[in-house]
Amino acid sequence: MKTKKTLLALGLIALIASTHAADFRIGLIGLDTSHVTAFLQTLNDPKNKDYVPGAKIVAGFKGGSPDIESSRSRVDGFTQTAVEKYGVKIYDTIEELAVNVDGIIVLSVDGRTHLDQFRRTLAAKKPVYIDKMLAGSLRDGIEVARLARDANIPIFCASSLRYAPDSPAGKLDKIGEMTSVYSFGPAELEPHHPDMFWYGIHAVEALYAVMGPGCVKVVRTHSTNTDVITGVWQDNRVGTMQGNRSGGKGFGGYGVRVFGTKGGATGGEKHSYKTLVEQFVKFFQTGISPVPIAATLEVLAFMEAGDESKRRGGAPVSIAEVMKSAGAKR
């Protein structure tokens, strides 16, 4: 039987652990995306149906990109909401924000800014979650990974579609040996980013959530309204991503279809930020990323190889080639 003293000690330990988790302070870099309010609702509002305990957003750096309309037109509104509704403190510099929080989210909608913004957090030695995409190019993504490795900084990057509540990734035991996967979603283009890096990355992440890394080469078919990128994996599985730019609002939504030797599975149509937030809160608390950085870099390489295939009129392009061209070291 436990003594009163032992029970008191155990209770104190539990209280300290609970307080520490609740007090994990997150700072947002880049308040120019709807993910600002989505993450604030999920982490800072206990009454929200998707509330995730364990961390709270307490600080922000406004950021913003004047040459991207969706950033320029929304950054002030999202900043105002963060301050007035959720009490977020705004810092004038990333460096100042970084030393006043426990963990950092690089949230800027403009992937071109991610490398510099991440670099400016390094001195604080804090874990960093980078919201999709890791960077605005494969080359920049490789540099982000190098900086994190050299500074021994935990990093994690993902799209919320990787953690769709109905992802078929949880049904693979019923389909036998997987042979191919087909993922589709919106792929709106933005002139300052490589084609799939802007919105197509969501369907690519959903594809990789099921396929995992190991793609060898890709080919891309491009038209005004549609892009199809097909990859062959080293074990001869085939993964296809279709990006749509027609079909009305939402461009027809998202979905994933898995084919196996004993049947198939579908899913990936539902969306929830809660599942992603749970993943990065756990990452902040443990310092362990659920997605290895090598796998994240392959996602960028898949999209870059698709761009190169488009430039070559649909010819196959290897992942190894684009990784080497972007400066990756073996």
What is the pTM assigned to this prediction?
0.91
Q: So where are the chain's domains?
A: 4-126, 164-271+291-325
For residue 13, pLDDT over 50 is answered with: no
Q: b or e along 226-259 (b: 16 or more beta carbons within 10 Å of the residue's beta carbon)?
A: bbbbbbbbeeebebbbbbbbeeeeebeebbbbbb
For residue 204, pLDDT over 80 is answered with: yes
pLDDT in tens, 152-195: 999 999 999 999 999 998 889 999 999 999 999 999 999 999 99
Contact between 70 and 296 (Cβ < 8 Å)? no
At 233 the pLDDT is 98
User: H/E element holding 243?
Assistant: strand 238-244
At 161 the pLDDT is 94
pLDDT in tens, 246-288: 865 555 699 999 999 999 999 999 888 999 999 999 999 999 9
CATH architecture of 4-126: 3-Layer(aba) Sandwich (3.40)
Superfamily of the domain at 164-271+291-325: Dihydrodipicolinate Reductase; domain 2 (3.30.360.10)
pLDDT in tens, 88-125: 999 999 999 999 999 999 999 999 999 999 999 999 99
